[in-house]
Structure 1
Amino acid sequence: MKTWKKWAVLGIVTTISTGILAGCASSGNASEEHQKTVTLWAGGSDNVKVGMEKIVEAFNKSEAGKEHQLKLEFIMSGAGAQTVSDRIVAAKKAGETKTNYDLILTSDAEYGAYIQEGGSDLFTPYNAEKIPNLANVQTEISTGKGTLVPYRGTTVVLAYNSENVPNPPQTADELYTWIKDNPGRFSYNTPGSGGAGGSFVQTAIYNFLPEEAMNSSDEKWKSEWEQGFDLLADLHDSMYQTGGKVIYPNKNQGTLDLLINGEVDMIPTWADMMITNLSNGMLPETVKMTQIDPGFTGNVDGLVMPSIGSNQEGAQAVMNFMLSEEAQQILLDSMAAIPVIDSTNITSEKSKYLAELNVENFRTSSLGSLGNELNEIWDQKIGTLSK
């Protein structure tokens, strides 16, 4: 299998992905007897949950697990609960310390938004000596160097029913033409509920902007969003409908379910979600994936330590484990995660699907808080068109 070094360009990474993490449990102060517990906060779709549960089990059985026990707090995307970022920022501003926010799963795309809201000291830099497996990492992140430890990569692709679409679109313009020529047969989820829909929206808007804008949180770019939103509004009437009304599904899984059930022929989806559903038989082999040019966005997903956490030693032990061959194998098998280390000794049936991805079409996106603003404007301009 190819290594992530070969896969990564521009320092990628969905969600991933996945969108801003959401939390529902209160942070609370960690008691003395639980100082050896490492609490990992994560969010996203079910495939991420499954992968993290397997990581927790493996870590707790490992040598490092004799000293630190890993606990998972997972919130499904689109759950509607207060986000982890909101909770962490609020706790930090309230002066809380020694909370159970030991480790956060996030992406380089989301990192900027965290820092904008919580300040440059929201996260604690890691000690590289505590994470020797960093020497094996063969990818780069677009932001958060010295603080964010990458653990997997993915990107958003175009999934389609090859029986009904023998010649899928190859460019963004061809895709938009196809959508209008085939009303009701395309869908994307609300951008605030999942990264696949978010990537579709960002791509439609930022294709009209300079490439540098996709990795900038500068407010000046907002004045150039109008043309992209006009495009999304023009496509609205051609989207999936039910009961005579355009519906934008909730969460990444929502559009994938429409494709599985044959209600649409084409959707944007995370590569790892599609590969997982192909390999477990939920998607028929007639469903294929392709990349358009310019490509949809992706991310590098990673781990960061909030400065208000309780167990930095344990958090760094988890970071180190996540970069082991054992953990990278688990992530590939359970999540179709593209390895971030030399994958010579990492093999999987899912590797054949990864080989179809063309790294030349991978794009990174890191908008900081602009990403949330863009989603809110979509809710106002596009989401309301169906009402």
Structure 2
Amino acid sequence: MKLRTAVGAVAVVIAAALTLSGCVKSSTAAKGGGAEDTKTVRVFISGDTNVEKLWTDGLGPAFEQANPGYKVQITLDLHGEHDAQTMAKLSASVAQQKDPGFDLVDGGFVAKASAANFLDPVDPSKISALGEIPADVVKAGGTGGIPYRGSSVLLAYDTKAVPEPPKTLDDLLAWIKAHPGKFTYNSPKSGGSGGAFVATVLDKYVPADARQKMTVGYEKGLESLWEQGFATLHGLNPYVYQKGVYPNGNQQVLDLLANGQISMAPVWSDQFTTGVANGSIPATVKAAQISNPSFTGGAAYLGIPASSPSKDAALKLANFVLQPEQQAMIVKNISGYPAISLDKLPPELQGKFANADTNNLRKGYFDSMTKDLNNLWDQKVPGK
């Protein structure tokens, strides 16, 4: 995508940047440093507090301890509520070759920023671990994306009510109708676990070549292929929890499952694993992946702004995060999938993913397609 610097566009960017400056929270793994200090890495997180905690309590301090003189500063935009403003700020900084205010991005918009040439290109000569990560995972992040952790949606089930879970999507759909009120998923706008269930049902009716196009670009003309899937989802209304109640968010689904109000639901692998570890999810609840198709998942990517004044330090931090010790930290702290091969981690950590294929991260739809999907679900699925 070509960069434009028309006066009107710059004005919008400046306004967006000013808006953003008052809407994010900053913290530091260590005090000191700034844009003029090329040994300080300012990490911008577009995500949740668990990811912020991973950086502030884990990755940041570990990097500083291993690299005396280097500092890590953290800024959080909770749930990525201001991604559009951040992209505008990034666009302006690259166009004008000015400091964007951060040196390493951890957020869902990294692939889009990479496609727009806002990020510094990386390859195995700069990030050595890229040569060991599955090529399709690396490719999904574009030339500037650095995969550093992952997760997928799994089917969680209460073994007291479901001794053997469905193995395929068709089996799951049949189970839902045979056990009214015992399954639900959150509305796709409110969380990715529900979104993955919706996308997987739609995918049942979308040809593979069309779906491939819809994962890498905006193909509005192909959205008609979703019609049969939306009809299937609408037909499930009488069979889901309380005849059509769709919780608001991933956590509400987990709470219903943990409290025994439902017996089965799609859940994020990392949230589920964390819940089992801290006791909020009973030991009787298990999780596994379905097939034909599987639920979607994906990698989380880091990116280095093309106009960052601290590219070398940011590269150093990105390489550090992909080392086995830090990958193990990601597994322990937030139950994320490692980006590197699972066999490089201690055996006790490998066992955490016994029922999940960490290398099989079936991509979701392109960002703009997902927004349309969410809006269409609102229109076509709930209600009688």
TM-score range, shorter chain: 0.7 to 0.9
Question: Is 1:112–1:143's contact at 8 Å kept on the other side of the alignment?
Answer: yes
Aligned equivalents of 1:382, 1:345: Cα separation in 2: 44
Find 1:277's aligned residue among 261, 275, 278: 275
Find 1:59's aligned residue among 42, 56, 63: 63
- Show the 5 A alignment for 1:129-168: 129-137=125-133, 140-141=136-137, 142-168=139-165
Tell me: CA distance 1:212–1:56, structure 2 relative to 1, closer, same or farther (3 Å): farther
Aligned equivalents of 1:313, 1:71: Cα separation in 2: 16
Question: For residue 169 of structure 2, what is the amino acid of its counterpart?
Answer: A
- Show the 5 A alignment for 1:189-338: 189-216=186-213, 217=217, 218-241=219-242, 246-294=244-292, 295-338=294-337
What displacement does 1:159 show? 0.3
| Deviates further, 88-97 or 273-282 | 88-97
Tell me, yes or no, if structure 1 residue 339 matches structure 2 residue 338. Answer: yes
TM (norm. structure 2) is 0.80
What displacement does 1:196 show? 1.2
Question: Is 2:104–2:314's contact at 8 Å kept on the other side of the alignment?
Answer: yes
| Deviates further, 350-359 or 163-172 | 350-359
Q: How many residues align?
A: 349
Q: What is the identity percentage for the equivalent residue pairs of Structure 1 and Structure 2?
A: 32
Aligned equivalents of 2:168, 2:129: Cα separation in 1: 39
Instruction: For residues 264-294 of structure 1, give each alpha carbon's deviation from its aligned partner in whole angstroms, at most 9, with x where no partner exists.
Output: 1111112222122212222122111122222
What displacement does 1:199 show? 0.8
Question: For residue 48 of structure 1, what is the amino acid of its counterpart?
Answer: V
2:41 alignment counterpart: 38
The structure in which a higher percent of residues are helix is: 2
Aligned equivalents of 1:362, 1:135: Cα separation in 2: 18
Tell me: CA distance 1:69–1:382, structure 2 relative to 1, closer, same or farther (3 Å): farther
Question: For residue 330 of structure 1, what is the amino acid of its counterpart?
Answer: M
Alignment partner of 1:301: what SS?
A: strand
| Deviates further, 281-290 or 41-50 | 41-50
What displacement does 1:249 show? 2.1
Aligned equivalents of 1:215, 1:306: Cα separation in 2: 28
RCO greater where, 1 or 2, for CA within 8 Å and sep 6 or more?
A: 1
What displacement does 1:41 show? 2.4
2:363 alignment counterpart: 364
CA-based RMSD: 3.0
TM (norm. structure 1) is 0.79
> Quick check: which has more Rg, 1 or 2?
2
What displacement does 1:83 show? 2.7
Alignment partner of 1:328: what SS?
A: helix
Gaps of 5+ in 1: 1-21
Alignment partner of 1:169: what SS?
A: coil
Aligned equivalents of 1:38, 1:300: Cα separation in 2: 22
